[in-house]
Structure 1
């Protein structure tokens, strides 16, 4: 033990800290996703491989050895969506870029007001809010618009008489930029059968990107927020405002902390 401490360097401490941080971020990334179950499956395979070595089960050991020799490729294939989402976090594209704090609050208030009004009228809606990752692939399927975020415009777009009410409405950097966008449906078999196409589309997009999606159910009028493939349901105006504020206002909090310092 003393020999180990004698050879311990500050760089070793830095090395351990970096690895621990990477593992922590990976855990946060896959928390609540199917990736956890897949990792448990890989862990079971690894234990079986060790048991086959100890128990001299040569055929099983040969099969698992060949499988584990390509483990890096297997991980890339299995976790391609999670890896893509992690790499996309490298590029920053703040939702409120260029807006003052008062304008930020006004945008969120208009979004909440619109969703509550649509829910009361039981008009289905799907709003995609861009965060750090660009939505270029989504925007290719919609109709380009450029308008301020107001409750009246949002409600008008989702009226059944509107030619662009189908699909999703996209919000980028505090403005309405695209309507009638079609989103990829989730292939997750664990999703409740009671969730409709809008909810599945919202989950499907957020499994790939870090966007925040608001869903207003046409059948019940209830409001849900979907992020990172997870869904928070039955939100009222107060809860919706809190959730959106927590997800979309990190820049405000950081700026306040800097000012206090």
Structure 2
């Protein structure tokens, strides 16, 4: 084994001595390093991180099998790695679509801003309409952290974000009104989902199940959550441990715009009705913990 490593090192040294260009190769290394950093930043918080780690492990095993001439492993990897790219695309097409959407938003920020503004307007109008009807809802806007691992169940929709559809999802006769509606990549991807409930005991008095679900999701992710109370018709926003309550239409739009401004990710929405009472409480409260 030692002789093999020495031979490999000698071959590498010989190759670098004959082919290394300080300027061209230096630029090449910098570009690749920046690209890898940008890719890792892009997939941060998604399942793609685990997939990338698995692929790197397989590639390392393939290199080792070639180095030590492990015939069986060489045959397996030759046949597996050829189709690995297609397997990844099929299994993680939703994640790939979101990553490409993020690339598009960085390339064309003005178009991304217009889409975000339209989504915020539809969400705000839906929240106000539901509040007027005294219909509860929980609307979660996804930012950098992917919500697929925190939001469970649901029925696939892949529909455009609109006031009318969001309102219809939470009316009492809707079969999905007891769950959450998740919007990703600028579209409502699922409805009827389940959100995690916070187990904290220090929440403001009078908060019901809906607010606990909003806080529970905000504890685990960087999501922005819009809550409509069925009991009081109040509209609230939860994000990063901060609870803003009793928001009128203008304050709701301003709060959503402020919370989402720090994130390049698209707005994504989820909703869920409440079982419990919600008191008046302060308009803004910091959820320390």
TM-score range, shorter chain: 0.5 to 0.7
Does residue 127 (structure 1) correspond to residue 153 (structure 2)? The answer is: no
8 Å CA contact 1:122, 1:217 repeated in 2: yes
**1:152 alignment partner in structure 2:** 164
**2:38 alignment partner in structure 1:** none
CA RMSD of aligned residues (A): 2.3
Could you state the TM-score of these two structures normalised by the residue count of structure 2? 0.53
CA shift at 1:129, angstroms? 1.2
Could you list the runs of 5+ residues in structure 2 that have no partner in the other structure? 1-43, 50-97, 106-110, 265-289
Task: Note the 1:226-241 alignment, pairs <5 A.
Answer: 226-241=238-253
Does residue 108 (structure 1) correspond to residue 111 (structure 2)? The answer is: no
- Which structure has the greater CA radius of gyration? 2
Distance across 2 between alignment mates of 1:249 and 1:175: 19
Matching residue within 173, 180, 189 for 1:177:
189
**2:175 alignment partner in structure 1:** 163
Question: Which segments of structure 1 move beyond 6 Å, counting only runs of 4 or more?
Answer: none
1:141/1:229 CA distance change after superposition, 3 Å: farther
1:102/1:88 CA distance change after superposition, 3 Å: closer
Which shifted more, 220-229 or 154-163?
A: 220-229
1:185/1:241 CA distance change after superposition, 3 Å: same
Does residue 216 (structure 1) correspond to residue 198 (structure 2)? The answer is: no
Matching residue within 129, 137, 148 for 1:136:
148
**3-state SS of paired residue (1:179):** strand
**1:202 alignment partner in structure 2:** 214
8 Å CA contact 2:135, 2:229 repeated in 1: yes
CA shift at 1:251, angstroms? 6.0
CA shift at 1:139, angstroms? 4.1
Task: Note the 1:55-134 alignment, pairs <5 A.
Answer: 88=45, 97=102, 98=104, 100=111, 101-134=113-146
Could you state the TM-score of these two structures normalised by the residue count of structure 1? 0.58
CA shift at 1:165, angstroms? 0.6
